[in-house]
Structure 1
Amino acid sequence: MRTDGGTTSAPLLGEPLPVELMNTVTGDRGRTHDTLDGDAAATGWLRAVAHRLGAESEITADQLDEDTVRPVAGALRALRDALRHLAADATQDPRPSATAPELTRGEAIGTLNALAHAWPELVWPADGRPSRAYRGSGTVADLAVQLIAHQAVGLFTGADRDRLRPCLAQNCLLFFVKNHARREWCSAACGNRVRVARHYRRHHSAPSH
């Protein structure tokens, strides 16, 4: 999937960025795919979401080349696994764990907190209006990971935590925020698959004797 400045095979569904990161683990016919597997894949994903990070910082896709992202690729995947663990806990997800099944809740919380070190600063140019921009320690790639972790703290402590859902369509491993009452699936594609499967079962079930 291509967006402004980056290419990724992960679905980008317009969810909060922590949920988009959770959804870098996908399923297909019973197989699990890690779309952040490798430095190039991590770089492509961060570049693909850079325009959303830039709303709270000065991050641009051009700053996130593979050499810059390589040192934080492991931290990005660790954050993803921690978020999936905590999302599964928050939603009582009945699906088998797709990543890091040995991770404990305490370890997941510790990983998130260790990476959520971004803070707001006042930006007030002489000829403009004051605004807020987030800063962090390290490189621009470090800040990208820190911002997503910081947003995840807000996700799990805010109203969206109660709206977070696992998509229970067959073979789907994604999460979504239930933003309207009738939404039951992460995407229209999953909803269509469920409806087709229900139709098939109704019309091909064995007759009772």
Structure 2
Amino acid sequence: MTTDSTTSAVLLGEPLPIELMNTVSIARGQTQDALDTDAGAASWLNAVAHRFQTEGAIHLEPLDADQARPTAAHLRELRSALRHLATEATGDPRPAATAPTLTRGEAVAAVNNRSQAWPQLSWPGDTGPTRTYHGPGTVQDLAVQFIAHQAVELFTGPDHERLRPCLAPNCLLFFVKNHPRREWCSPVCGNRVRVARHYRRHHTPEGRS
């Protein structure tokens, strides 16, 4: 679990669709939205730019708020759709943090409308074959399309069964359960749960179990 100095979002090293879902979190008891401004959207894109490069050969130049403005609304729309679908897929009992009135059909349509990126084989010189992604519009558009493309793979692939909501107190994040013993999104939440359990054990009123 890391918090990049350029963004207020928690970065867990999860697939990019989950990292986008996790731009809504709780800090000091208050819901925090790392994409609530164009500057916040630019900061998040800058923080995960290396992921676009390594996973899709998408070279996203550093952005400022003005440059990110056309993309920010698309990121928020896609995030709401992904969180809705993740809630349905996992039976997440937590209150909705974004777009509580979104229907499954609307969420699916939002993902499909953005998942226009497609992979192509690239084999330059002696470097070996690589997969590069392409799509209509700007490089920023392609970045959003790439997240949506990965979301289709997430919800239809093996990670669908391993997707989990973190049910630690005051957590809104999702994660992929990549180890049988993993129960929380991060060690921080694991510690929070242990502290809460310890408190309950030692502060149960006398005569109650």
Q: TM-score, normalised by structure 2?
A: 0.93
Q: Deviations over 1:9-39 (max 9, x none)?
A: 1000111111111000002354321111111
What letter corresponds to residue 68 of structure 1 in structure 2?
A: Q
Q: Does 1:2 align with 2:4?
A: yes
Residue aligning to 1:106 = 105
Q: Aligned equivalents of 2:126 and 2:149: distance in 1?
A: 30
Mapped contact 1:63–1:140 kept (Cα < 8 A): no
What letter corresponds to residue 53 of structure 1 in structure 2?
A: F
Mapped contact 1:72–1:141 kept (Cα < 8 A): yes
Q: Aligned equivalents of 2:182 and 2:25: distance in 1?
A: 20
What letter corresponds to residue 39 of structure 1 in structure 2?
A: D
Mapped contact 1:48–1:61 kept (Cα < 8 A): no
Q: Aligned equivalents of 1:79 and 1:123: distance in 2?
A: 28
Residue aligning to 1:129 = 128
Residue aligning to 1:80 = 79
Q: Aligned equivalents of 2:183 and 2:128: distance in 1?
A: 42
Deviation, 1:55, is 1.7
Q: Deviations over 1:143-192 (max 9, x none)?
A: 00000000000000001010000011111100011111111111111110
Q: Aligned equivalents of 1:126 and 1:195: distance in 2?
A: 54
Residue aligning to 2:10 = 11
What letter corresponds to residue 195 of structure 2 in structure 1?
A: V
Q: Aligned equivalents of 2:8 and 2:43: distance in 1?
A: 9
Q: Aligned equivalents of 2:4 and 2:29: distance in 1?
A: 25
What letter corresponds to residue 57 of structure 1 in structure 2?
A: G
The change in CA–CA distance for 1:164 and 1:198 in structure 2 (over 3 A counts) is same
Q: Deviations over 1:81-137 (max 9, x none)?
A: 100000000000000111101111100000000000001122232454332200011
Q: Does 1:90 align with 2:89?
A: yes
Deviation, 1:63, is 4.7
The change in CA–CA distance for 1:63 and 1:123 in structure 2 (over 3 A counts) is farther
Deviation, 1:59, is 2.9
Q: Aligned equivalents of 1:201 and 1:130: distance in 2?
A: 56
Structure 2 portions without partners, runs of 5+: none
What letter corresponds to residue 139 of structure 1 in structure 2?
A: T
Deviation, 1:57, is 3.4
Q: Aligned equivalents of 1:136 and 1:9: distance in 2?
A: 29
Q: TM-score, normalised by structure 1?
A: 0.93
Q: Aligned equivalents of 1:123 and 1:46: distance in 2?
A: 25
Mapped contact 1:64–1:141 kept (Cα < 8 A): no
Q: Aligned equivalents of 2:167 and 2:192: distance in 1?
A: 11
Deviation, 1:64, is 3.6
Q: Aligned equivalents of 1:91 and 1:111: distance in 2?
A: 19
1:27-176 → structure 2 map (5 Å cutoff): 27-176=26-175
Q: Aligned equivalents of 2:191 and 2:167: distance in 1?
A: 13
What letter corresponds to residue 26 of structure 1 in structure 2?
A: S
Mapped contact 1:40–1:66 kept (Cα < 8 A): yes
| Worse overlay, 199-208 or 120-129 | 120-129
Partner of 2:167, secondary structure, is coil
